[in-house]
A and B are shown apart, each in its own frame.
Chain A
Amino acid sequence: MKFAALIYSDETNPEINPDPASPEFAPMMEGYMGFGATYSDKIAAGEALQPTTTATSVQVRNGETITTDGPFAETKEQLGGFYILECADLDEAIAIAADIPHAATGTVEVRPVPDFGGE
């Protein structure tokens, strides 16, 4: 079954999320390259996200689209990327999530993806 691994970390802390122009950026990316290579047969999808300063929240009320600058909720750690993992059970998903580099500095939330039986 599929699990989403949602990667949260403090995007304002340069030690945890270095600027792409800084020398610390390459080692962080290497961590993710290594993770991707190790679990290539388990990763169904995955993306990084631009920081929440780029977020736009969208709501439709009475047929009208309302946009707001910023993320849905202000939090100490922000969603910075995700993977969709193909795992046998929660224990396997937890074991893989623990190897995501930001698990060491932030929080990875693991959520099952429901199977609505489309096959």
Chain B
Amino acid sequence: MNVPSASDSEGDHIAHVASEEWTKVVAVLTSELRDIALAEEVTQDAFAAALEQWPSSGVPQRPGAWLLTVARRRAIDRIRREATGRSKVETIGRLEARLSPAAVAIDSSLVRDEQLQLLFACSHPALSVEVQLALVLRCVAGVSTPDLAAAFLISESAMAQRLVRGKRKIRDSAIPLSMPADSEILSRISVVHQTIYLIYNNGYVHPSGELLIENDLTEEAIRLARLVVRLIPSDPESKGLLALFLLSESRRPARTDCDNNLVLLADQDRSKWDQSMISEGNELIAAAIRREQPGPYQIQAAINALHCDAKTAEDTDWPQIELLYHSLVQHTPTPIVKLNLAVAISMSRGPAEALPLLDRLMPELEKFHYAHAARAEILVRLERYEEARAAYREALELVRNESERTFLNNALAEL
């Protein structure tokens, strides 16, 4: 997944040590150079030097400091050669000051601000969403361009173009690469949450992919959520986001059968759920809730925790889930959240109460296959089979994911 590659196994070991430092070195240099593309290039140079020298000299005691020093020297050379104007002198001065032995220590606590700055810049709302996702995965998570291209089903050159476009926009439109004021961090972080959430969703059900689950992107989203929790430990929504991912991910082994067909929550083999992810998710959500600053991710995580806590589908605490969806609607009154509330009501109070709520939402959800599928299920429970068949057919018109299509076809065939 990570950047440097080497052919032999000794090189692999070195590449592994080095790749752990990649994103940190890029973050520090971006902050010093105010230019992501240049930071990446000189970091790449430093990694090339490491792969050349370390096999004979051994891995240095502090590989991060070594890489950072080499990268800074390369940056000074490049700026001397290429840059013009007053900013050149300033940047070189800043870099040289940091070449002193006392200043080269690099550890995770020291790069906290730099990594946050880079996260904020890469998920800046002035960038298109597709560019945000690509930049965050490339620059903050360290995913290679070929892996990114594969995950988003586009060519490598198209992905490289997308990244270049994003970095150029950050540089040329002066998207800030500096640290926001402490008072602004929490409001800014919500944009980062959204980007990471989209990365997770892209991995969870790929919009057009045949597989229901693309593991790599969900794993990267979890890694990024962990990073945000570490960088801003006081933010309960960051914990909520990570808890949401873990609790949802815990059910992954049961979500598809051996033919990669979708298995609904109620029909899943609960013994396959990953208990260590569930307990980590539960701890995170408990810690978040203690701060008494509820938000949409904490609420969604709490809903997932209730599902994970139920020994059987019948044990699910639907009245509590309904309550949580009511408060989620207060925070994010989107048609999809309201749809989920209607589904929860169908479980807590019965399908007859839920159907009129759902029908009122349908004009807004016409193009969303899941809404038609949910409506079909409620109609089946009301024994209105003819309407249910029609609703399933509508869902089938719209669905793009192959395993979901198979699921809907089976449901329709069973009627």
Residues of A near any B CB (own CB < 8 A): 1, 3, 87-91, 93-94, 110-112, 114, 117, 119
Residue of A nearest to B83 (CB): A117
B interface majority secondary structure: loop
Contacts A89-B178, A90-B126 given; indicate if A112 touches B86 (C-beta within 8 A): no
Which residues of chain B in 155-192 are interfacial with respect to chain A, using CB atoms and an 8 Å cutoff?
A: 172-176, 178
Range class of the B interface residue count? 10 to 19
Q: Decide: B175 and A119 in contact? CB cutoff 8 A.
A: no
**CA A7 to CA B364, docked complex, whole Å:** 32
Return the contact of A90 from the options B84, B85, B86, B176 (Cβ within 8 A): B176
Nearest Cβ distance between residue A117 and chain B, in whole angstroms?
5
**B 351-379 binary contact with A (CB < 8 Å = 1; else 0):** 00000000000000000000000000000
Could you write out 24 A-B pairs with CB less than 8 Å apart? A1-B174, A3-B174, A87-B174, A88-B176, A89-B174, A89-B175, A89-B176, A89-B178, A90-B124, A90-B126, A90-B173, A90-B174, A90-B175, A90-B176, A91-B175, A93-B174, A94-B126, A110-B173, A112-B172, A112-B173, A112-B174, A114-B172, A117-B84, A117-B85
**CA A117 to CA B85, docked complex, whole Å:** 6
**CA A94 to CA B174, docked complex, whole Å:** 11
Residues of B near A89 (CB, < 8 A) are 174-176, 178
Residue of A nearest to B88 (CB): A117
**CA A24 to CA B213, docked complex, whole Å:** 57
Residue of A nearest to B125 (CB): A94
**CA A114 to CA B85, docked complex, whole Å:** 14
Nearest Cβ distance between residue A7 and chain B, in whole angstroms?
18
Q: Decide: B176 and A91 in contact? CB cutoff 8 A.
A: yes
Q: Decide: B173 and A119 in contact? CB cutoff 8 A.
A: no
Which residues of chain B in 258-282 are interfacial with respect to chain A, using CB atoms and an 8 Å cutoff?
A: none
Nearest Cβ distance between residue B389 and chain A, in whole angstroms?
43
Residue of B nearest to A110 (CB): B173
Residues of B near A93 (CB, < 8 A) are 174
**CA A110 to CA B175, docked complex, whole Å:** 12
Q: Decide: A119 and B172 in contact? CB cutoff 8 A.
A: no
Residue of A nearest to B84 (CB): A117
Residues of A near B86 (CB, < 8 A) are 119
